[in-house]
Amino acid sequence: MTVWQKLTAAVRRLGSWLLAAAILLSVLFVSVLIYKYLGAHPSPPDTAQCHRIQQLNTADEGAEVHLYQCQRGSLEQPWMGYEVWLYNVGERDWERLATAPHAACLSLSWHRPQHLLISHTGQRSEVYIVRPSAVYQTPTGAPDTLSIDTRVQAQCEHQ
């Protein structure tokens, strides 16, 4: 094998590696775009088309729980419903706790300290709870947990 043939083979191997790396980076880039548009979190209610209906504060004033009536989506296929958000005062960050269609009519109350009760007039399957609890930072900097529960109510009542 001549030097020229060895050099040509090395350039081909290097080209194959570069092509594989380019394909891998392209797949990763497309995956991130798909996640961003399909799995990303919605915009916070203070920047969306939302109207606050109710607000509860935790006993330590470290977090606020907000009930919003929001309209999202396009003009052709709008979604209108309720969203429950936790505002972490210390971190100045929003976290969505629950959503429900407009027909479900939500209201908030404290079942006991650190235990949020979301009452609704719809079926249980209409209320989507993102997670059963949320962690927030207290004014002293310690983490605390807020538990979330739901119940059906006969009439729509916003407290």
Angle at 53 between CA 112 and CA 44, to 5 degrees: 95
pTM, full prediction = 0.72
Digit-coded pLDDT (tens) for 25-65 = 999 988 887 776 666 567 788 777 899 999 999 999 999 99
pLDDT at residue number 159? 54
Q: Give me the phi and psi of 16, to 5 degrees please.
A: -65, -45
Digit-coded pLDDT (tens) for 104-146 = 889 999 988 899 999 998 777 889 998 899 999 999 989 999 9
More confident residue, 39 or 157: 157
Q: Where are the domains of the chain?
A: 1-40, 50-152
pLDDT at residue number 108? 94
Sheet hosting strand 106-112, strand order edge to edge: 106-112, 115-120, 143-152, 133-137
Strand partners, 151: 119
Closest alpha carbon to 82 in 123, 41, 126, 27 = 126
3-state SS assignment for residue 145 = strand
For 66, other C-beta atoms within 10 Å of its C-beta total 21
pLDDT at residue number 109? 93
